[in-house]
Structure 1
């Protein structure tokens, strides 16, 4: 039975290292960032968003566990944001480690997250998904998420 467990302080450095690498890679793959300095840029962005680590106000970091005393199968991080007077949750990251994928952990984590978001009195949950990640898009759609915008880019060839 998958459970969300508040992220342990001892786990946070591992989370941060993996997230920085993944975020840099995804931004390079999507064409948003050049490979050069992508990791440094990613690390800098994460330090800006989580200056106090797991104690950063309005940020909620969880380990996705296989069961209450089980292995860490991944993690999920959301923050509370306010737009036009309405407070909502924004998921910055969700990751299920490769050996735990296709076992329902991500779906279970999202469903449990909804309860935590409701407890905070928030009205919605938003997230961003890279266009090339069709598996994530399918999961989010099946959970009731709907697209609200699409950013497009055209790369110009140098002459």
Structure 2
């Protein structure tokens, strides 16, 4: 394994986000976000990674490569708190058939290095409560829960 990250341009990053539309919308609606708000979130995400103003985006979107072959994607950048030292893993993915080989761990470690290079002193992420594999990976890398959201469908 020789993992590298290849940064995407703004237009490529926007196209990549669009290619993940179903995943993003499903994740957000599964988390209880109404579909119209989830779609608005996607539009905001596209604007973040490829601003129509032409300004450089502080968001960084990468192809995750293993020995030069694309095996996933990574999107990191400043979080939404306004604290310039706080960065966020907005999305990380390794192709399903390649999971369990250390690629996700290596991608997260690269993300941490890049964030540090941009002055970040902390990095956070969200993970679905039911994604035990990802939660285990993040915990093994030193991530700790800071809040937990819970829901219950009424009438069931």
> Which TM-score applies when normalising by structure 2?
0.81
The alpha-carbon deviation at position 32 of structure 1 amounts to: 3.3
Cα offset, 1:11, TM superposition: 4.3
- Greater displacement, 70-79 / 39-48: 39-48
* CA drift at 1:112: 1.5
Partner of 2:78 in structure 1? 80
* CA gap 1:46/1:14 in 2 versus in 1, 3 angstroms: same
When the two structures are aligned, how many residues end up with a matched partner? 154
CA 1:102 to 1:8, structure 2 compared with 1: closer, same or farther past 3 Å? farther
Q: Residue 150 of structure 1 corresponds to which residue in structure 2?
A: 148
Aligned equivalent of 2:63: 63
Question: Closer, same or farther in 2 for the Cα pair 1:41/1:85, shift >3 Å?
Answer: closer
Contact 1:77 1:93 in 2 (8 A): yes
Q: Structure 1 residues 150, 126: closer, same or farther in 2, change over 3 A?
A: same
Change (3 A) 1:44 1:10: closer
Quick check: 1:110 aligned with 2:111?
no
Gap change, CA 1:44 and 1:9, over 3 Å in 2 = closer
Unmatched 5+ stretches in structure 1: none
